[in-house]
Amino acid sequence: MNTNAPKKNLLQAVNTSDKPSKEEAMEAVRTLIRWAGDNPEREGLKDTPKRVVNAYREWFRGYDMDPTSELSRVFEDVSGYDDMVLLREIDIESHCEHHMAPFLGKAYVAYLPTDKVVGISKLVKVVEIFSKRLQTQETMTAQIIDAIDDALKPRGSAVMIDAKHQCMNTRGVHHPDVSTITTQFTGEFKTNPSLQDRFLKLISRD
């Protein structure tokens, strides 16, 4: 599925002064436990609010990270290399903004360099930053490619994400085997069907 999600600001974190304290967040978890019908003070749940808040800090650490900074160090000595740079099967661990339920899968990222390249670990880090935020898969796909295009000014970029959403697998329609695929192409990847086809073939090979 080729998405046309609108571009969004790459940094969407709340103002620090508006951020609740850790104790306020823990009290919110206690409220949810009571709402679910249990007692947050019983032995098995007493430390759950602290564990949940610590887990949230890890799951959503992308709000404290800047993708532009990660892509700021580039290498201009490419020795004439001008073909595709492709990373396959980058792990995705994210949460959808609709139900705050996990979605898990793989990302595939490629770009066509002009006169500079970036360390491949930095591309993985950019995927991780956006995955550690609340958003839809479509938005995350667009955000990743926007960050690459803004920082590297490549001749073209391509991103595909293939993920399974727990909000659909464990609730609602309950279809555990359904995965969602989103793609986004820019530059030569968008205008050259053969290049786009080559990307798709490379990421699907065993």
Q: Which of 41, 89, 98, 175 is catalytic?
A: 98
CA 180 to CA 173: how far, in whole Å?
14
Assess whether 167 carries a catalytic annotation: yes
Assess whether 98 carries a catalytic annotation: yes
Q: Which of 135, 137, 143, 196 is catalytic?
A: 137
Q: Which of 23, 27, 41, 97 is catalytic?
A: 97
Q: How many CA atoms lie within 13 A of 113 on its CB side?
A: 18
Which H or E element spans position 96?
strand 85-96
Stated length of the chain = 206
Q: Which of 128, 165, 184, 196 is catalytic?
A: 165
Assess whether 23 carries a catalytic annotation: no
Assess whether 184 carries a catalytic annotation: no
Residue with tokens 């595709």: 84
Assess whether 137 carries a catalytic annotation: yes
Q: Which of 93, 138, 166, 167 is catalytic?
A: 167
Assess whether 165 carries a catalytic annotation: yes
Q: How many helices (H) and strands (E) does the chain have?
A: 8, 7
Amino acid making up residue 57: R
Assess whether 128 carries a catalytic annotation: no
Q: Which of 93, 99, 138, 188 is catalytic?
A: 99
Q: What is the DSSP letter of 20?
A: P
Which of the residues are catalytic? 96-99, 137, 165, 167
